[in-house]
Structure 1
Amino acid sequence: MKATVYLLGCLSLISLLLAGCWDKNELTDWGFVQAVAIDRSESGRIKVMAQIYRPGSSESRSGMATKGGSYLSLTEEAATMSEASLKLAAELGRRLQWSHMRALLVGEQVIRTRNIGELLDFFSRSQGPRGSVNVMTTQGEASRYLLIKPLIENTIGQQLRTAESIASTQAGISTTITLLDLNILSQTPGSIALLPHIRLSKDEHEVVTIDSLAILRFPEGTIDASLVPMQFAPYLLMIRGEYRRGQLSIPCEKEEGKGSSGVTKEDSYWVYASKSRLKVTQRGGRPLIRIHLDLDGKMGEMTCSDIQTVDGNAHFLKRVAEEIERGAKDAVDFVQEKKADVLLAGQYLERRNPRLWRSWSGDWAEQFSYAKVIVTVSARITDTGMNAGNPFTAVSGSP
């Protein structure tokens, strides 16, 4: 009997230590934010639109994956993000939960005139938002991007996040930058970031596409009026060491002429590994920047090349290297004209040669603009695909 009483007493004490839902926080108390758009209002204040998950919608109950029914969008105008957050919560009737946010969009008009740090300080101090939230700039007002229907995802916030991820990791035409990245960069005066810039294109449906990269400068925290064109993006990402993989078009040589449609023929080189080496020295009183790109790739499409022989393979790789060198030099010329060191040459110099950096740091943007830049490329082919190393249209028995 005593043993039974003792056992019951122990179990009672242990039960007091078990976790329980005693904090009175229920799911019905929260509004889960999926995406946020920040614009400048006509009065000069900020206009914030929040896309919020709508639980228990008819689409959810029926199990149908209809687009647009699982969320709602609310807009408020305020002087600060904190004030806008409280207004949105009051309008929704629930406390806002930011931890599920997928994308943060900032309109061109507001980020060109106002320090982005003033807009994002709220998200860095609050416990809710995650540092992994993707940040993008938009053509025109950011709020209109949250009103379009997603193509395949349940919310446009998730659609934007996955589109940016594919553009960065598979296509090699964009970069991914998060709240945490911007927080770190903002602590380094003189640093420059590349932000994905999106626009709306309309064919059968309204579609969001990444069309360029915006140059964000610190400590100003604003973007330049000029955007980096998409054709320069792959080469700048290679130089920065941020190129994952992607496809590059290699124009055929003049003797191959044009295709039957009159369009210049091109081969396709798929890059799946890229390394960049950068070195900054001094020559003739100005910076000398040497860049070497080391690429591994495979054949994507062949229309005018034959790599079945050693000479044919070497000749094709020579064309690849020359085309990438040309593209990289054009991209470097563009950012030098804008006095934007997106090559990270200043960071290299500060780490490797502090004495030389101190002599140039006061006007580094100017020094960078007339620096001598030399780009070299080494390319390899590791795979020709299921076919051999000659074009699909090659005549049997032809060399």
Structure 2
Amino acid sequence: MRRSILKMLLIFSLFPLTGCWDKAELNERAFVQALAIDLNDEGKIELTTLFYKPGGAGGELSQQAQGGPRSFNIKTVDDTALEAVRDITIHLGRKAQFSHMRVILISEKLAKKRKVGEVLDAFSRDHEPRGVISVMIMKGKANDYLNIEPFIESTIGEQLRSIEEGNFRYSGKTIKSTFMELSMQLKSETGVAKVPYLYLDKKGKPTATVAGIALLDKGKMAGLISSKNAEGLLMLANQYGNGIIEFPCTDPKKEKRNKKESFEIGQMKTEITPKIIGDSVNVHVSAKIGGSVGDLLCSKLETKEQEQAFAQTAGEAVKREMEQVIELLQKKKLDAIGIGDRIYRKDSRLWQRWKPNWGERFARIQFEIDVEVKVRDTGMNIGKPMSG
């Protein structure tokens, strides 16, 4: 009986402890939409923070009627990113809240001089930033991009993330890289990471363009894959979603030699198999593609043979794109495909011997590429060019 009474007293004594001891009122926080991280001339971190500006009692419609901006920037400078974050309160009087942050922008200058992982280390330890935040590297000053007016989204932070996701999903001209994915790539055996590249288009009103892929080696930017070659890299890495493959007309007629046809990729799966032979390695790449006819200018797909010939031409174009990217990566000695990671999982002891000079060994790999294309749809105009 006494033990039962004691248990009940202990349970009731815990009730007063269930209050919100760590509560934070909304008027004590400012919600971050984006971060721009630069390196100033003194080698210090220059942090520009984009905050969402709430609409007040009138809400969103009220703010639009007032014509005021939906966001504002605050710049702080310090030796570390975390100290620069804490200095925000000097200007704003509120604590920065990172749970709604959309994107982190890192200048190319900083990425070449400092390890990106070291700069972002404090954010990886904080519970507020989410692992799905987009991370990008850009040409020029990172904070310049936060002054651009968004086209359709509420803030430029949301706009940049929307551009990255749409480009990756529908065009294949860049990669989608989240904070968590970047962390995993930096800690991989090869240490090579792929990050979206951003630059300013200054023709007329400045606009931001997400195109191309920045390559990080051991934490620092070591190369750039153009938007033209980004598709080939995504294909090799089995990260390609949708996009268009162009190839010259095969018609021998002079007036059609310079024209190009296209094939829209709707589904693609790539498998990479390293083959260890003695003290060397060869790699077999197998790609299976399904999609639909895009531009049909000189070919006809009225018979099974014609359809197979068109598919073969599209497959050869894909193979050329892959070969061009492999050549670029081997020149840079950067294993952005993850061959080393596969060898590590297959034979960890062998990898430990190869790891110290893996870049040199990667540059000597012989690749064998097989591409299979299936035409799943010829469109509403069946298999004839619209021009006849």
TM-score by structure 1 length?
Answer: 0.88
Residue number in structure 2 paired with 1:83? 83
Distance in 1, matches of 2:370 and 2:87, equals 55
Q: Please say if 1:235 is aligned against 2:229.
A: no
Residue number in structure 1 paired with 2:344? 350
Contact 2:232 2:321 (8 Å CA) reproduced? yes
Cα displacement (A) at 1:70: 0.7
SS at match of 1:112: helix
Distance in 1, matches of 2:278 and 2:25, equals 69
SS at match of 1:289: strand
Aligned-residue RMSD, C-alpha? 2.3
Contact 2:189 2:344 (8 Å CA) reproduced? no
Residue number in structure 2 paired with 1:43? 42
Q: Please say if 1:286 is aligned against 2:280.
A: yes
> Percent identity of the aligned residues?
31
Distance in 2, matches of 1:256 and 1:321, equals 22
SS at match of 1:301: coil
Distance in 1, matches of 2:36 and 2:148, equals 13
- CA deviations on 1:53-85 (whole Å, 9 max, x unpaired) are 111379935363899711000101101111101
Cα displacement (A) at 1:355: 4.7
Distance in 2, matches of 1:191 and 1:177, equals 15
Residue number in structure 1 paired with 2:310? 316
Residue number in structure 2 paired with 1:8? none
Distance in 2, matches of 1:203 and 1:69, equals 24
- CA deviations on 1:75-113 (whole Å, 9 max, x unpaired) are 011011111011112211111100110010000111101
Instruction: Work out which of the residue numbers 235, 243, 246 in structure 2 matches 1:246.
Output: 243
TM-score by structure 2 length?
Answer: 0.90
Residue number in structure 2 paired with 1:277? 271
Could you tell me which amino acid in structure 1 is paired with residue 35 of structure 2?
V
- CA deviations on 1:321-356 (whole Å, 9 max, x unpaired) are 111111111110010000011111111111123454
Residue number in structure 2 paired with 1:196? 196
Residue number in structure 1 paired with 2:138? 138
Contact 1:68 1:149 (8 Å CA) reproduced? no
Instruction: Work out which of the residue numbers 220, 239, 242 in structure 2 matches 1:222.
Output: 220
Counterparts in 2 of 1:237 and 1:24: CA distance versus 1, 3 Å: closer
Residue number in structure 1 paired with 2:27? 28
Distance in 1, matches of 2:377 and 2:54, equals 48
Counterparts in 2 of 1:65 and 1:177: CA distance versus 1, 3 Å: farther
Contact 1:232 1:331 (8 Å CA) reproduced? yes
In the alignment, structure 1 segments of 5+ residues that lack a partner are 1-12, 395-399
What is the number of equivalent residue pairs in this alignment? Answer: 374
Counterparts in 2 of 1:61 and 1:317: CA distance versus 1, 3 Å: closer
Distance in 1, matches of 2:381 and 2:290, equals 19
Distance in 2, matches of 1:138 and 1:61, equals 34
Contact 1:67 1:149 (8 Å CA) reproduced? no
Residue number in structure 1 paired with 2:323? 329
Contact 2:186 2:193 (8 Å CA) reproduced? no
